[in-house]
């Protein structure tokens, strides 16, 4: 399989007067294979945009190696025409129509004008192409942005938060669009905070936390490797079920009308124990974690009641807000 994006040991530090030195990337690695839809996930401030901007040559790395479509970063110009990217939401001129916007971009990029219609068609904007951009919904503007990246028929499309701010229908449309592009052979690298979407559309995933990769691989494997070997069990006599399964080493968490059983690796053992006692199992389902749960655990960002996490807090920490004190100073934050 051809690797189209290879990043190893990427480091980037920013300096600012107010916050001093900020390590955005701390030896980050990533690999994306051709034909994949690859999800790029991480909490706020974990280094996703910095990675994408560095990959595209918009900021320079302090250290590390990057290859894109087989070319090292200093030869990126040679493959730039094969890469479409939306890393910052493009600002469109509201009084131009979608078609005029794309025509201008096509002319500026040396792309044949006939590509405009095909890009409009691909993103489903053909019928609104002659309306002014200021009349477009946010979802339509996002589609126009994707269309602008598609003008050069890229082999690799890099999308930073394409579903940001979209309503459920807009998210669904963006998902259909990305799936369609992937089906036509485009490799897509997509960063997002919408984990359920990533779980639905991505083949593989990289999760970054504080500038380092914490997990990478096929989505199904990442989820399976974080399964805790638990089963959801339903039965008519739950109190007795709990006693019987506890007696054979099960650890039980009681739920509404079911129990969650850990510590018994083989589901056949559960049905055997209950069947022998005359208890018929009505449900026996392995519990697989979802991407959100894996993400929260790996990045240490699972919310804790009463604790407010700031974006730059180390994982697992946060400031405890004492909400019992109701006195106010009249100051606003
Ligand atoms: N130009 C900059 N100057 C100073 N610090 C920066 C700059 N760009 C990024 N940073 C810092 O680098 C870290 C990583 O930021 P980055 O934007 O890459 O994160 P992100 O994962 O894309 O976050 P988000 O999900 O919120 O978009 C943050 O601490 C951020 O404040």
Q: For residue 194, give the nearest of 221, 218, 172, 163 by alpha carbon.
A: 163
User: What are the Cα distances from residue 322, in Å, to 147, 170, 319, 325?
Assistant: 48, 38, 9, 6
Higher pLDDT, 62 or 312: 62
* Distances in whole angstroms, Cα of residue 327 to Cα of each of 79, 308, 330: 60, 19, 9
Instruction: Pick the more confident residue, 226 or 67.
Output: 67
Q: What is the pLDDT of residue 305?
A: 66
Q: Is residue 323 part of a domain?
A: no
Q: What is the pLDDT of residue 82?
A: 92
CA distances from 192 to 21, 44, 48, 76, 137 (A): 26, 10, 9, 24, 20
Protein residues with CB under 6 Å of any ligand 1 atom: 14, 16, 22, 24, 42, 44-50, 312
Does residue 317 lie in a domain region?
Answer: no
Q: What mean pLDDT is predicted for residues 248-260?
A: 92
Please give the residue range of the domain that contains residue 64: 3-225
- Is residue 77 in some structural domain? yes
Give the whole-angstrom CA distance, residue 93 versus residue 150: 19
Domain identity same for 143 and 251: no
Same domain, 240 and 166: no
Cβ distance 71 to 81 under 8 Å?
no
Same domain, yes or no, for 100 and 237? no
Secondary structure of residue 170 in the 3-state scheme: helix
Domain identity same for 26 and 104: yes
Q: Whose CA is nearest to atom 26 of ligand 1?
A: 44
- Is residue 261's pLDDT more than 90? yes
Question: 26 C-alpha to center of ligand 1: Å?
Answer: 13
**With bands split at pLDDT 50, 70 and 90, how would you rate the model's confidence at 169?**
confident
Give the per-residue pLDDT at 225. 85
Q: How confident is the model at residue 14 (pLDDT cuts 50, 70, 90)?
A: very high
pLDDT tens digits for 58-107? Answer: 899 999 999 999 999 888 889 988 999 988 777 889 999 999 999 999 99
Read off the pLDDT of each residue in 118-124 and give the average, rounded to a whole number: 89
Q: Where residue 50 falls among pLDDT bands split at 50, 70, 90?
A: very high
Are 238 and 218 part of one and the same domain?
no
Please report whether residue 296 resides in a domain.
no
| pLDDT above 50 (res 252) | yes
Residues 53 and 68 grouped into a single domain: yes
Domain endpoint, select from 178, 203, 225? 225
Mutate to test the pocket of ligand 1, among 20, 26, 30, 46 (most ligand atoms within 8 A of CB): 46
* pLDDT digits 0-9 by tens, 201-210: 999 999 999 9
Structure-derived torsion over alpha carbons of residues 216, 220, 221, 224, reported in degrees to the nearest 10: 120
Is the pLDDT at 324 greater than 50, yes or no? Answer: no
Q: Is residue 327 part of a domain?
A: no
Q: For ligand 1, atom 12, which residue shows the shortest CA distance?
A: 24
ipTM of the complex: 0.97
pLDDT at 325: 40
> What are 251's two structure tokens?
């650890």
Q: What is the mean pLDDT of residues 285-299?
A: 87
CA distance 130 to 146: 17
Overall number of domains in the chain: 2
**124: alpha, beta or left, given left = phi > 0 and alpha = psi -120 to 50?**
left
Instruction: Based on the fold, state whether residues 203 and 251 are members of the same structural domain.
Output: no
Element (H, E) at 6: strand 3-16
Q: What is the mean pLDDT of residues 3-12?
A: 95
Distance 48 CA to ligand 1 centre (A): 8
Collapse the DSSP code of 215 into the 3-class scheme (helix H, G, I; strand E, B; otherwise coil) and give the result. Answer: strand
Residue 189, pLDDT above cutoff 90:
yes
pLDDT of residue 332: 36
Q: Do 142 and 221 have their domain in common?
A: yes
Q: 7 and 140, same structural domain?
A: yes
Answer whether residue 313 is part of any domain: no
* In a domain? residue 141: yes
User: What whole-number distance in Å separates Cα of residue 2 and Cα of residue 67?
Assistant: 12
* Alpha-carbon dihedral 284, 286, 291, 297, rounded to 10 degrees: 110
Report pTM: 0.81
% helix, strand, coil for the chain, step of 5: 35, 30, 40
Report the chain's mean pLDDT, rounded to a whole number: 87
pLDDT at 29 (0 to 100):
96
Query: CA dist 269 to 38, 61, 98, 245, Å?
Result: 38, 54, 62, 9
DSSP 278-296: T--EEEEEE----HHHHHH
Residue 315 has pLDDT above 70, yes or no: no
One domain, residues 124 and 184: yes
Q: How far is the CA of 49 from the centre of ligand 1 (A)?
A: 7
Among 225, 257, 277, the domain-final residue is 225
Residue 160, domain member (yes or no): yes
pLDDT band, very low/low/confident/very high, at 333 (cuts 50, 70, 90) = very low
Inform me whether the pLDDT recorded for 30 exceeds 50. yes
Residue whose pair of structure tokens reads 């709990």 in the numeric block: 242
Q: What span, in angstroms and rounded, lies between the C-alpha atoms of 53 and 59?
A: 6
Contacts of 224 (CB under 8 A, 6+ apart): 288
Query: Domain holding 57: CATH number?
Result: 3.40.50.300
pLDDT at 296: 87
90 and 192 belong to one structural domain:
yes
In percent, the amount of the chain with pLDDT more than 90 equals 55
Is the same domain home to 157 and 213?
yes
Give the pLDDT confidence score for residue 77 in this predicted structure: 87
| DSSP string over 235-258 | ES-HHHHHHHHHHTT-EEEE-SS-
Confidence at residue 317, expressed as pLDDT on a 0 to 100 scale = 52
Residue 86 CA, distance from chain mean position: 15
> 168-183 vs 114-122: helix axis angle to the nearest 10?
120
Which of 181, 206, 225 finishes a domain? 225
């Amino acid at each position: 399989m051809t690797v189209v994006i290879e990043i190893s040991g990427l480091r980037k530090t920013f300096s600012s007067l107010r916050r001093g030195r900020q390590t955005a990337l701390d030896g980050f690695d990533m690999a994306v294979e051709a034909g994949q839809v690859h999800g790029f996930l991480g909490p706020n401030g974990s280094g996703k945009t910095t990675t994408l901007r560095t990959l595209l040559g918009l900021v320079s790395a302090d250290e590390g190696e990057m290859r894109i479509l087989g070319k090292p970063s200093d030869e990126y110009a040679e493959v730039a025409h094969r890469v479409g990217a939306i890393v910052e939401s493009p600002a469109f001129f509201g009084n131009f129509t979608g078609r005029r916007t794309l025509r201008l971009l096509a002319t500026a990029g040396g792309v044949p004008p006939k590509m405009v219609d095909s890009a409009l068609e691909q993103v489903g904007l053909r019928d609104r192409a002659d309306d002014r951009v200021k009349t477009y919904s946010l979802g339509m503007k996002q589609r126009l942005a994707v269309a602008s990246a598609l003008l050069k028929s890229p082999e690799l499309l890099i999308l930073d938060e394409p579903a940001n701010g979209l309503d459920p229908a807009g998210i669904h449309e963006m998902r259909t669009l990305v799936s369609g592009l992937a089906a036509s052979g485009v490799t897509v690298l997509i960063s997002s905070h919408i984990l359920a979407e990533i779980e639905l559309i991505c083949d593989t995933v990289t999760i970054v936390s504080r500038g380092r990769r914490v997990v990478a691989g096929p989505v199904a494997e990442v989820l399976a490797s974080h399964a805790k070997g638990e089963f959801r069990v339903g039965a008519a006599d739950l109190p007795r079920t709990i006693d019987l399964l506890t007696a054979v080493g099960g650890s039980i968490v009681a739920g509404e009308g079911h129990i969650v059983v850990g510590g018994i690796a083989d589901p056949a053992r559960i049905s055997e124990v209950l069947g022998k006692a005359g208890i018929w199992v009505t449900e026996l389902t392995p519990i697989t974690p979802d991407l959100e749960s894996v993400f929260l655990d790996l990045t240490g960002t699972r919310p804790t009641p009463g604790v407010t996490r700031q974006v730059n807090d180390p994982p697992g920490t946060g400031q405890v807000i004492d909400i019992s004190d109701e006195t106010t100073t009249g100051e606003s934050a």
